[in-house]
Amino acid sequence: MNRRDLFAGAAFGLALAATPALAQDESYTIGVAIPSATHGFMGGLNYHAQASIERLEATYPQLDFVLATAGDAGKMVNDIEDMVATRNIDALVVLPFESEPLTSPVQAVKEQGVWVTVVDRGLSVPGIEDLYVAGDNPGFGRVAGEYFAETLEEGDNIVVLRGIPTTLDNERVAAFEEAIEGSGINVLDMQHGNWNRDDAFNVMQDFLSKYDDIDAVWASDDDMAVGVLEAIDQAGRNEEMWVVGGAGMKEIIARIMEGDPMLPVNVTYPPAQIATAIELTALGLVSATPVSGRFIIGSQMITPENAEQFYFPDSPF
Amino acid sequence: MNRRDLFAGAAFGLALAATPALAQDESYTIGVAIPSATHGFMGGLNYHAQASIERLEATYPQLDFVLATAGDAGKMVNDIEDMVATRNIDALVVLPFESEPLTSPVQAVKEQGVWVTVVDRGLSVPGIEDLYVAGDNPGFGRVAGEYFAETLEEGDNIVVLRGIPTTLDNERVAAFEEAIEGSGINVLDMQHGNWNRDDAFNVMQDFLSKYDDIDAVWASDDDMAVGVLEAIDQAGRNEEMWVVGGAGMKEIIARIMEGDPMLPVNVTYPPAQIATAIELTALGLVSATPVSGRFIIGSQMITPENAEQFYFPDSPF
């Protein structure tokens, strides 16, 4: 009986019993492979992975977890092979460090009958994973754009900082542009700040020297927002404009909670999506609930009224 | 403090504590409004709603549920208004009886700060719900089509029964046709059996009288498959062809488990999607896990090897 059969059998058993009691007789091990906490977003992701594992271990004594973090694709491949060889995992939750080098190793795991959940970055070959969990990139741009369109007046001027040139960035920006279409807002300029604080600082310094009337900035990322705010502060133009970043960095959320007029709102692209992926994978093992498919986590607007829901003081991000 | 604030505060409290203990101090009520068990699929859906509520009540003592079933849209609207007025629900899970008459009432519930999860059938206005859970209609056709393409030979003949003429049926059939493209399979005929056993029986009788060489039938639904099998049986042509239905009716799954050559496989469109919706809604209340967004449950192939995972003997469907 391979692992897939075990998995199927247990789900069946639970359905028969219609109580969680039977499932508790059978124990399962879930492997979680994620990138190391090398920068803000991944720091948050590591925090939420750990928090959801603690919650699940307390809720379901029959579940065990192996969490491995990797600073490069090679280490992640080794981690995953170890999980299968030495821990006999029933399910794998993986945020691929890079798509290409992880595709064959994850496919091999899948072929051994292990449930596979892929998070955020897809693999290079479609259809390998049982469950895909990711943020909503068009929604991320649209929610921000709708706020700009509702809040600004016709003729107001904005500048936009873009991420690293990628499909993902294109999707976000296209949805933002569509949402402000017809609002009469002038987009003075758009430049790539590459989701990087220092690059964003330089781009914003350039915008500030070129344009003497800016009403708002779509920084489109909280790391970039930090660089943008620093440039505005050095130019002494804090009263002139507000800034919308994105992804919910805790320092930014704290300022939204305080009602900072420079940071009126934010848009989620939650590092806690790893928790959604781990929770759903666990649910598939402890119950007969269908959890295969594709879950796109909505991008929500964070306002002073709801900000505390998105504030995680213990998270590094 | 309205319900939305309570909800937000609790999620925040849990994140702070990073254990489920705090959340257990706060109790929540989830309303579940679904159509009555008037036919097979809805019977299964009622069974899975009840089973997931039992599982969740046993797992999370801080959760209460109100389950209401309705035979028409007016009753469902009343049920939902009652849940808000007399049970003060924190979240609503609804499978709209019909989209149009449920849209305003559900929107009113949302505006009172109640979390809203919509299942299967969308509302007429987009963006009301926090979470949307549904099956994968293109996937339902594609998975079936891939099986036909892989199993049949060039020149083999098939007939197809379609559902009630709807966008949903069009999506399924278009994906099926795309999957068999280039396989050399001849589609002799396609007619609407309207997801109805008797209609499917009549359509299949007609096919059998018209065509003297049929290798396989895509009945595209298990209720239709039952009618199709009866027609084939009456014509005494059981040895000639196999049939693929869909949605996982338990009598069909039982025959797949037994290795019946006339029913080699099935494709899921699970009535248990209601369990996914209820579980995710509950998870959003007892933890800080992001559960807003859009979850499309994958259509999976059911084979003799994995069929027991999809067999629910206590369910009416």
**Which of B166, B274, B266, B174 is CA-nearest to residue B221?**
B266
Instruction: Quote the Cα angle for A29-A31-A36, to 5°.
Output: 150
3-state secondary structure of A125: coil
B309 interfacial to chain A (CB closer than 8 Å): yes
pLDDT for position B18: 35
Q: Residue B316: which of B42, B113, B33 has the closest Cα?
A: B42
Cβ pair A99, A121 in contact under 8 A: yes
Identify the architecture of domain B137-267 in CATH: 3-Layer(aba) Sandwich (3.40)
Cβ pair A9:B309 closer than 8 A = yes
**B114 in A contact zone (CB under 8 Å):** no
Is B254's Cβ below 8 Å from some Cβ in A? no
- As beta bridge partners, residue B115 has B91
CA A242/CA A257 separation, integer angstroms = 15
- In the predicted model, is pLDDT for residue B40 greater than 90? no
Say what the pLDDT of residue A26 is.
87
Cβ neighbours of A298 in B, within 8 Å = 130-131, 292-294
Most B CBs within 10 Å, among A140, A289, A305, A309, to test the B interface: A289
Question: What local confidence, expressed as pLDDT, does residue A5 receive?
Answer: 39
How confident is the model at residue A224, as a pLDDT? 96
Is the Cβ pair A297, B287 closer than 8 Å?
Answer: no
Mean pLDDT across B5-10: 38
Please say if the pLDDT value at position B55 is more than 90. Answer: yes
CB contact under 8 A, A295 and B298: no
- The token pair at B246 is 């869909």
Res. B211: pLDDT tops 80: yes
Nearest alpha carbon to residue A215 among A264, A179, A164: A264
Dihedral (CA of B209, B210, B215, B218) sign: negative
Chain B residues inside the 8 Å CB shell of A308:
8-9, 12
Q: Which residues of chain A have pLDDT under 50?
A: 1-24
> Could you give the C-alpha distances from B76 to B39, B174, B281, in angstroms and in order?
17, 33, 19
Phi first, then psi, for residue A216 (nearest 5°) are: -160, 160
Task: Tell me the torsion sign for CA atoms A76, A80, A82, A83.
Answer: positive
What φ, ψ does residue A296 adopt, rounded to 5°? -100, 115
Identity at A1, one-letter amino acid code: M
- DSSP helix/strand/coil, B166: coil
Q: Angle at which helices A250-257 and A222-234 pack, to 10 degrees? A: 60
Distances (CA, A) of B199 to A91, B203, B206, B231, B303: 43, 6, 11, 11, 27
B residues 134-193 lying closer than 8 A (beta carbon) to A: 136
A290 to B276: CB separation less than 8 angstroms, yes or no: yes
Q: Residue A140's CB: how many other CB atoms inside 10 A?
A: 26
Q: Answer whether A103's CB lies under 8 Å from A127's CB.
A: no
pTM for the structure as a whole: 0.85
Interface check B297 vs A, CB under 8 A: yes
Between CA B235 and CA B226 the distance in angstroms is: 14
Give how far the C-alpha of residue B57 lies from the chain's centroid of Cα atoms, to the nearest Å. 23
User: Is B71 in the A-facing interface, judged by CB distances under 8 Å?
Assistant: no
Mean pLDDT, residues B116-131 = 93
Give pLDDT, residue A121. 86
Residue with tokens 């509520």: B53
C-beta neighbour count of A142 within 10 angstroms:
22
d(CA B247, CA B144): 11
Residues in chain B with CB shorter than 8 Å from the CB of A294 are 136, 295-296, 298
At A220 the three-state DSSP class reads: coil
Strands A293-297, B293-297: pairing is antiparallel
* Tokens standing for residue A215: 């009403």
pLDDT class of B315 with cuts at 50, 70, 90: confident
Q: What is the pLDDT of residue A18?
A: 35
Query: Which fold is adopted by the domain A6-135+270-298?
Result: Rossmann fold (3.40.50)
Residue A240: φ, ψ to 5°: -80, -35
Q: In the structure, what pLDDT confidence band is assigned to residue B166 with cuts at 50, 70 and 90?
A: confident
Domain boundaries along the sequence of chain A: 6-135+270-298, 137-267
Partner-chain contact B59 A20, CB within 8 Å: yes
Please give the share of chain B, as a percent, with pLDDT higher than 70.
92
**Torsion, CA A16, CA A17, CA A23, CA A25, rounded to 10:** -120
Closest CA to A163 of A208, A224, A107, A84: A224
Which chain B residue lies closest to A139 (C-alpha atoms)?
Answer: B293
CA-based nearest residue in chain A for residue B294: A296
pLDDT given at position A1: 33
- Residue range B114-122: average pLDDT? 94
Q: Where are the alpha helices (DSSP H) in chain A?
A: 3-17, 21-25, 40-59, 73-87, 99-111, 137-151, 167-180, 197-210, 222-234, 250-257, 273-286
User: Do the beta carbons of residue B28 and residue B63 sit within 8 Å?
Assistant: yes
More confident residue, B271 or A168: B271
The mean pLDDT value for B285-289 works out to 95
Q: Which of A41, A50, A101, A40 is nearest to A75 (CA)?
A: A101
**Cα–Cα dist A2/A296, whole Å:** 31
Q: Are strands B63-70 and B28-35 parallel, antiparallel or unpaired?
A: parallel
Contacts of B55 in chain A (CB under 8 A): 18-20, 287
The mean pLDDT of chain B is: 91
Query: Is A17 an 8 Å CB contact of chain B?
Result: no
Q: Are strands A266-267 and A301-302 parallel, antiparallel or unpaired?
A: antiparallel
Q: Does B19 touch chain A (CB under 8 A)?
A: yes
Give CA–CA dist B204/B157, Å, rounded: 14
* Dihedral sign, Cα of residue A118, residue A291, residue B172, residue A136: negative
Q: Which helix (H) or strand (E) holds A191?
A: strand A186-192
Interchain CB distance below 8 Å, B298 and A293: yes
Q: B121 or A38: whose pLDDT is higher?
A: B121
Question: Given this chain, do its domains B6-135+270-298 and B137-267 carry the same CATH topology?
Answer: yes
- What percent of chain B is modeled with pLDDT above 90? 82
Longest dimension (CA), chain B: 71
pLDDT score recorded for residue B25: 60
Element (H, E) at B299: none
Structure tokens that stand for B284 in this block: 């959003």
With beta carbons under 8 A apart, name residues in chain B contacting A6: none
**Residue whose token pair is 């559902």:** B163
